[in-house]
A and B are shown apart, each in its own frame.
Chain A
Amino acid sequence: MAGCTGLAVVLASVVWPLPETGPSLAPLVETSLADTGVSSRVTAVLLAFRGYDTLLEVTVLFVAAVAIRSMSSKSAPHPAHVRGRALHALLRLIAPLAILLAAYFVWLGSHAPGGAFQAGAVLGGAGIALALGGVAVLGAVPPTAVRALAALGPGVFVGVGVGGLLADGAFLRYPPEFASLTIFAIEAVLTVSIGLALLLLLGEAWSPAAPGSQEPTDSGDTNGGGRA
Chain B
Amino acid sequence: MASLREVCTGGFVEAASGLEAIEQLALGPTALMVLDLNMPDMHGLEVLRFVRAHQAYRALPIVVLTTRGDETSRTAAAAAGASLFQTKPFTPHALAGQIRQLLEASAGQVRP
Q: Do A and B come from one complex?
A: no
Residues of A near any B CB (own CB < 8 A): none
Residues of B near any A CB (own CB < 8 A): none
